């Protein structure tokens, strides 16, 4: 499994590329340099390796965010806000959750599988 779990990507603070120090990681403060193997060993043992990671630039591939503006009628927003207050969540959290639930229930078939089934006469 990749470091940090499935699909996780971390930007190391400083990954050396010179021949004499190939595959080394330097801490953010520059005081400690360790091998990539030592970094992985510390991580696997559950030690804190955050000093070697640039968490401000950490990302989760496939989970990038894109802003979307949506206009709602005021009465509709009022109903949403009442529900949010009732269950104790923000409007944005509620909208994301409701949309995720809807998409999970109405998931479209995989295009590759659908095209294969159509060629075999199966719908």
CA 70, CA 77: separation in Å to the nearest integer?
11
pTM, to two decimals: 0.45
With a cut of 70, say whether residue 34 has pLDDT above it: yes
CA 30, CA 91: separation in Å to the nearest integer?
43
- Confidence band for 14, pLDDT divided at 50, 70 and 90: very low
pLDDT for residue 61: 84
CA 41, CA 27: separation in Å to the nearest integer?
16
Going 18 to 20 to 22 to 24, the CA torsion angle's sign is negative
Mean pLDDT, residues 112-123 taken together? 53
Residue 23 backbone phi and psi in degrees, to 5: 60, 45
Q: Two tokens at 31?
A: 């005081």
């Amino acid at each position: 499994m990749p470091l940090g779990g499935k699909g996780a990507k971390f930007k190391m603070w400083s990954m050396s590329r010179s021949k004499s120090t190939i595959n080394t990681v330097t801490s953010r403060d520059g005081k400690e340099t360790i091998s990539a193997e030592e970094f992985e060993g510390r991580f696997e043992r559950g030690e804190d390796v955050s000093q070697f990671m640039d968490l401000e630039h950490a990302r989760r591939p496939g989970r990038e965010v894109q802003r979307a503006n949506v206009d709602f009628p005021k009465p509709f927003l009022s109903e949403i806000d009442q529900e949010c207050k009732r269950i104790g969540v923000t409007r944005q959290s509620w909208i994301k959750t409701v949309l995720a639930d809807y998409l999970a229930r109405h998931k479209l078939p995989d295009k590759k599988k659908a095209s294969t089934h159509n060629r075999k006469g199966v719908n």
